[in-house]
Structure formats: C-alpha cells, structure tokens
Structure 1
Amino acid sequence: MANSSGLLSSEEVFAIVSRRLGSEDIQVEEVVYAPIGPGMTGFMGDHLRIQIVAKETRLGQRYELQFFSKSLPTTSQDHIEYVISFGAYEKEVVAYSTILPKLRECQGSQARWSCDCFLTRPDLIVLENAAHQGFQLHDNLTCMDNAHVTLVLKNLALLHAASIIFEERNSKIEDAFKEVLFENLFSSIEGNSSRNWFVTGIHTAVHITKYLQKFSDDPKLLSVIKKELPDTCKRMWELAKPSKKYRNVLCHGDLWNNNIMFRYESGRPIELRFVDFQMYRYNPPAAELVFFLHMTTRRAVREAHLEEFLTLYYETFSQELKLQGYESEQLLPWTELRDSFDRLRDIGRIVGVISLQMCLMDPKIIAPYTTSLGKFRKVLEQDRRQEVEENIQSNPIYKERILEALEELVECSILKNRSN
C-alpha cells in the first residue's frame, strides 16, 4: 500500500474505507494524496484530495474512493498555534464527530445538508469529497439569485428544526455541547484575534465613509456617522450571544458563498452541502437568516423578497417538525420568528460592513499576505485600509457591495436611531 505523505496510518485508512463501504472485508491497495488546486488553498489549514483504491474481498469488487481532508497547517509551529488559538479546529472536529451526526438522527426528511465524515482527529478531518460528486462553490463576488437563496433557506430550516427536535428529545444544546459553544468570530475578549479582526474592520469602515456620496455634502452629518459607527458595530458582541428572549438553535454561524457548495442540474441548484462548521453558535434562527441574506444578496432583493423568503423558511421548518410529531407554533411560533428577525436585523447589517471587506477581496490583493504569518496578521488584525482602498479602486462590484452595506447600516441603524 502506498502512503506517500504519512498523513494517515494504515489503521486509519482501513477505518475510513470500511465506514465508506460498510464492510470490513476489504483490502486497501493504494492511497494517493493530491492538492485541491494550484497554490495555497487556505491560510487556516491544509486541504488535500485523497484517493483510496480498495477491493471488497468477499465479492472481489474494486473501488476508487475519493475523500477530502482538512488538517492543521504544516508551515511552522507559530502558524499552528495561531490557527489553534481561534478554536476553529476544535469546534469543527466536535461538529463532525458528534454534533452533526446527532442532529441528522433527528431529521425526518431525507435531504442532506452536511458532508459525511469518515475520520476525525484533533488535527485532522476526513470528509466525503463533495467536489468529486459535482458540488461546487458559488462565485464569490456574485450575489445569489432566488433559486440559490431558496435552496439554502430550505436546508437551514432542516438544520434548525433538527436542533429543536434534539432539544425536545434530549437536553439543551448549550448544555450538551457547552465546551465548544464559545464565540470565535465575534469575540469581545481583549487581545483575542477575532476581536482584533473585528476592530480592524471597524476602523476600515470609518475610513471608507468618505466614499458615501449620499452624505458627502453634509460634513457635520458625516462627522456624526464616523463618531457613532464604532459603537453601532460593537453591538454585535451582544447580538451574537444566545438570546434570553427568543428560542435558540444551533446555527452554522458563517454562511456565505464560500461555505456552501451546490450541485446543479440543467444550470439550476438542486442540492447543497454546508461546509466549514468552525464558527457555529447558539442563536435564534433569525440571527442565521439575517447573516446569510446580508452576506449573499443585495439590498433591493432583500427588500423585495423578504416576506417570501421568511415564509418559505418557516413552511419548511414547520413541515420538518410535523414529520417528527411536533408543532412549530408551539416550539417556535411564526410571530416569534418575525419579531426576532426585525430585532436582530443589525446582525446582518453589521456583518455586511465588517465581513465583506475581506470575504469579497480580490485574491490577487490578499495572496501576498498568505505566505507570511506576520503579513497575514497585519491585514487581518491591524490595518487593512490600504488593501480595501485598492480593491475599491480596482473592482466596481466590490465597491458597490461594500458601500451599499455601509450605507444601509448608516441609514437603518445610526440615523434611524437618532431620529427616534
């Protein structure tokens, strides 16, 4: 058996294949590791394609099996320690080894919204290779159309319903998985890397207010906007916490184009997989919905189709609960979903202002920083104004989306609150 990189032991390879084929009567013939694509595939870890050739000895059938692995980076110890400090790997390992299988056991429908997992270690996750099965990411800069949004909302409804069913049958998710429900995207802890990332995003947002043409003729108002923008954004630190008023569910926590893979037929999305379960949190479902919609759609689309989107989500959510013998109006009424969406809307507005800065950035601009931990931490945690400026100047779509998000937050949160 060839095992060129030593990533997996012979025992681990055997376990992966036996789980995949549902048999232990197997003989592994070859293991081949290959990069996902040209160049570096991610600063936060190493990604590989794994092909395993195996034979089911009882029937003599030969299989070429494809898997996808995510592991801690191998560049340096400092790099490893930096990635570990985010807690993302710890959360994802527990997600795939424990949480997601338990939630899928609570699901009544046959739809799948997460990849099958075949092995976890503290430093490694081996999953089905969704790309080999025809799944692909949506273009990063292009907003999702209604067909994509509809599919995502239906699958989110299944995920959230499974969360509630788990709690009805077992215990509160925040109790069952307390050790991994720490906040690692919107942390307010001083010195925390995610806090530094967020505050750097605030400074950048204040800097680019100069591009807000709608307010450029009123220097006094623009000064007020700059002054109030930081505190408005910092509300996220409270909004991201579990609600004391509304029912919470397990939320993916970071749903945007790069964390959803779609499979298509005749150009239409028919199936998906949510990936990168590294930032999940315990929040009302509405918190997840506003996050997703503000990261993947334009303001005009949200305003035109919001009721349609929410109705679709709740209908799917209700149907899933009913399959398992529960009534949605008893466990999470429509009025609660609608009220919580309105009250948590600033989650979407703030995340649009902060997260889109780097999520939509041209890879050519950010690529030089991914080869050095120091350079990467600089743009992530210290100052990214130059990089955002460069992208604004070079890419009209980036400029439109960044400034639209900032303008909406200003109009709907800062100025509206001042007039109330």
Structure 2
Amino acid sequence: MTSQIVTREDCQIVVKNHLKRELFQITDYQTGQFFDEVNGFLGEHLFLTINVLLEGKIQTLRFFLKKFPSTHPLQSEFLRSMNGWQREIYCFQTFLPTIKQTLPDYQLDFVPECFLGKPDDVLVFEDLTLRNYDLPRQANLNLLDNEHICLALASLAKFHAGSLAYEEYQSKRLGEPFRLFTGQEQLVKEPLLRRENGFLGYDFFKAAMKGLKALIGKVHPKNQVALEEVQQKFDTLAAKALALMCPQTTFRNVLAHGDLWAKNVMFQYEGHKPIKAVLVDFQLIRYHVPAHDVLMFLALTTNRQVRQEKFHFYLKFYHDALAKELERVNIDATSIGMSYEQFQKSVSFIMPEIKIHGALLRLQQCGNKDFYKKLVTDKEAYKNFIFVDKAPFALELFETDANFRTLLSEAVEEIIEAAL
C-alpha cells in the first residue's frame, strides 16, 4: 500500500537520513491519522510507516509526518503569510545543523530528529512516541505541574544557549560583534504580532483584541465611565505590545521558539514520572529576547497563584540552566550580557507585551474540545473566530466553560492591572 501524501522518493530520503546508510529497499509505505481528535491548526498530524528490506529482513519504520493544510484554505493562507512552514524547515535543516557543526559539543537532544522538509508540503520527524514521549500527562494542559515546567525550561535554555554560543564563536572568529539576524529577515521576522495592514497576523491580533475587550466588560463590571477608561488604556497597552515584538538593542536576542505552550512540548516518561522534555513545532520562530519564550510558557502553563508563589524560582531555574549550558561550551553568561540581573531587566522590559500576548493565546487555546470540534465544521464561524472578531465566541465560552472563565478572568485581571 502506498500514499498520495508522500512519494517513494520522499521515503527514500527519510529512510536514508534515519538509517544513515544507502543500501536498503523500500517494499511499501502508508500514512494515517496520528490523533483522533482535532489537532494541528497549522498542519495535519499523520504517521508514516515504511517497510524496508534490510539485509534480507523486512523492518517496519514509523515516523511522524506533518502535512501542509493545503485542503484548508484558511489555515494555508495564514501559514503562508507568516512563512511558517519555511521557518520550521530553516530551523531544522539549516540553523540547528549549523550550530552543531560549529559547536561539536552542543547536543540537539531537546528537539526531535527531522528527516525531510519540503516547502508548503510535508515535514517528517522521528516518532517520539516510540521513545515513550507523550504530550503532558496532566488533567489540564493549561496548568502543568512543577516537574513538567522545569523540564521544559531546561530544554528551552539549551535551545537558547545555541544561539548565544554561536554568536560568541563567530564574534571571536571575526574579531567584531556578530549577530545572527537583524530581525528583518523573512524567516525570523515577527511572524504574528506585526502592525501591517493586509497582514493576516495583524487581523488575528485585532480579532483577539476585540475578544479581550469584551471580556474586560465581564471581569471589570464597574460604572460605564470607569470601564471606558480601562478599555482606552487597554488599547494603549495593546499598541505597546505590538511595538515590543522586535529584536532589542539593549538586551541579547536569540532564535526564540515563539509558540511554547503545553502542546508544543513532549515529555519522556518512566512510569508516570516525566524525565525529559523535547520542544516541537517551530513555525513561529523569531529573533527576540530569551525572556519572551520563558514568560510566554509560564503564562500559558500556570495560573496566577502559581506565578505569585514560584515566578522568581522559575526565572532563576531557567537562568541557571542557561548558564550551565553556556559553561559546557566555555562561555560565561555574565561576560556576554546574560547575567541574572540583566535577564531580570529584560523580563521587566518585555512584561507589558506578555500580558497581552498571553491573554491573546489563552483566548485562542482554552476553549473546550466540543467548542473546537463544532467550530471547525463551520467555515464562516471559524474564519470569524480567527480573523474577524473573537468577542461573541469569548462571551459564550465565558458563560458556558468554567475552565475558560477561570483562566481568562485571571488573564484579563492582569491586563487591567497592567493598563492602569
């Protein structure tokens, strides 16, 4: 049995890169759905199995395949507008191999292996489930426990350390400061929150702002004058958030993941215990301060009480992990502008954007499964939710979904406090 999604030539490349050998014969291959439920807004998630004749025996190899959503015009257009597919291919086929080649001691064990990347077509990775990796085994993916958070932050620190170490290596080699990007390159330019008329990411942002403004009216039920004042200041905060979404000159930047939440981290388990984390889905990579990834992950995986109790613990944990990774390649974090004090300053600097961005993604992600199943069957409603106006959807979920109401109430309360 064969598949129309990949060709035999594609499978040849996948197997060659996986086995790291030339001599084998593919007998057949097939694809199928990886998950039963709605998944992959920016790509369909499939499995790819390839039967290979190797040294006289048939071996079945299984891979994870991400397919460009070409049959879904809305997602396809959105993904193309942000160069999302090309960003992920660049990360796995150019950026990470370059770092590894330059820094042989740098280990890429924080990402899956990528065996094939075709622009606006398919990406093929190792199937992490074969090594007992899974999405977080937590009752609520919007609220992770301490073990999962620390493992994810450690892997994130290793990813960020690669950018910093590479820039330092090249600076030393060239005898002058070297930076990977200016931030205007198409594959690292802000992919989503960019004030640009006609850009779908800006439409996405404006639709979400309408939803958040509607929720302010629910969370801040005071007299009309006070509410109008809050909403005006919310508009000012939203504009400031957009202005902050670019590389900074005061702080060091890294190639940031850009979309780090619970479903974009997979954990390896021994029994019920998570022991290691791998980062996935690099379609929104951007050149930005490391604190942005850290703070967004915490905003999307913890509640307000946890952040009040453990916020500085998590900041220190991440920074210690980053410093340790840099030490492995003989770099002192403090000497390159990444002391803990400097990191804390970058946290304070970027925080206004995090309040808006975190609430925006909570609004996108925190509805219940039935809500999303119903939404994807109605193309017009789906388009309105993503690009036009999230307000009616947000108000409906606020009334009918207790988890959504709790998480968005907290997010909106923090926005109100930041705006005032």
TM-score in terms of structure 1 length: 0.91
Moved more, 151-160 or 374-383: 374-383
Moved more, 146-155 or 358-367: 358-367
Q: C-alpha displacement at 1:281, in angstroms?
A: 0.8
Check if 1:101 corresponds to 2:106.
no
Letter in 2 for 1:265: E
Name the CA distance, whole Å, in 2 between partners of 1:278 and 1:78: 16
Q: Deviations for 1:222-261, whole angstroms, at most 9, x for unmatched residues? A: 2211121122122221211000110111110111112111
Name the CA distance, whole Å, in 2 between partners of 1:281 and 1:78: 23
Name the CA distance, whole Å, in 1 between partners of 2:154 and 2:40: 29
Q: Deviations for 1:361-408, whole angstroms, at most 9, x for unmatched residues? A: 123223233245543221111122222122212221210110101101
Check if 1:365 corresponds to 2:404.
no
Corresponding position of 2:174: none
Corresponding position of 1:63: 59
Check if 1:73 corresponds to 2:69.
yes
Equivalent pairs: percent with the same residue? 25
Name the CA distance, whole Å, in 1 between partners of 2:74 and 2:405: 35
Check if 1:383 corresponds to 2:389.
yes
Residue segments in structure 1 that go unaligned for 5+ positions in a row: 416-420
Moved more, 357-366 or 244-253: 357-366
Moved more, 101-110 or 270-279: 101-110
Aligned counterpart for 1:200 among listed residues 207, 228, 233: 207
Aligned counterpart for 1:15 among listed residues 13, 16, 32: 13
Name the CA distance, whole Å, in 2 between partners of 1:266 and 1:109: 29
Structural mapping, 1:249-398, within 5 Å: 249-331=254-336, 332-371=338-377, 373-398=379-404
Distance 1:107 1:374, change over 3 A: farther
Name the CA distance, whole Å, in 1 between partners of 2:99 and 2:380: 39
Distance 1:27 1:255, change over 3 A: same
**Structure number with higher relative contact order (C-alpha < 8 Å, ≥ 6 residues apart):** 2
Corresponding position of 1:418: none
Q: Deviations for 1:15-42, whole angstroms, at most 9, x for unmatched residues? A: 2112111211212122121111236543
Name the CA distance, whole Å, in 1 between partners of 2:59 and 2:6: 19
Q: C-alpha displacement at 1:78, in angstroms?
A: 7.0
For the Cα contact (< 8 Å) 1:293–1:348, is it kept in 2? no
For the Cα contact (< 8 Å) 2:100–2:108, is it kept in 1? no
Q: Deviations for 1:157-183, whole angstroms, at most 9, x for unmatched residues? A: 111111111112234221599330121
Structural mapping, 1:83-232, within 5 Å: 83-105=79-101, 106=103, 108=105, 110=107, 112-122=109-119, 123-138=121-136, 139=138, 141-170=141-170, 171-174=178-181, 178-212=185-219, 215-232=220-237
Q: In structure 2, the residue corresponding to 1:160 is in which secondary structure? A: helix
Name the CA distance, whole Å, in 2 between partners of 1:76 and 1:155: 33
Moved more, 215-224 or 334-343: 215-224
Name the CA distance, whole Å, in 2 between partners of 1:177 and 1:158: 25
For the Cα contact (< 8 Å) 1:141–1:398, is it kept in 2? no
Letter in 1 for 2:109: R
Name the CA distance, whole Å, in 1 between partners of 2:6 and 2:271: 38
Q: In structure 1, the residue corresponding to 2:52 is in which secondary structure? A: strand
Name the CA distance, whole Å, in 2 between partners of 1:155 and 1:264: 15
Distance 1:141 1:317, change over 3 A: closer
Q: In structure 1, the residue corresponding to 2:228 is in which secondary structure? A: helix
Name the CA distance, whole Å, in 1 between partners of 2:76 and 2:309: 45
Query: Would you say how many aligned residue pairs link Structure 1 and Structure 2?
Result: 408
TM-score in terms of structure 2 length: 0.91
Name the CA distance, whole Å, in 2 between partners of 1:414 and 1:175: 30
Q: Deviations for 1:75-102, whole angstroms, at most 9, x for unmatched residues? A: 2667644532232112112122111233
Name the CA distance, whole Å, in 1 between partners of 2:226 and 2:166: 49
Q: C-alpha displacement at 1:14, in angstroms?
A: 1.6
Distance 1:274 1:300, change over 3 A: same
Distance 1:220 1:107, change over 3 A: farther
Moved more, 348-357 or 366-375: 366-375
For the Cα contact (< 8 Å) 2:214–2:395, is it kept in 1? no
For the Cα contact (< 8 Å) 1:136–1:261, is it kept in 2? yes
Q: In structure 2, the residue corresponding to 1:278 is in which secondary structure? A: coil
Name the CA distance, whole Å, in 2 between partners of 1:326 and 1:335: 17
RMSD: 2.2
Check if 1:238 corresponds to 2:243.
yes
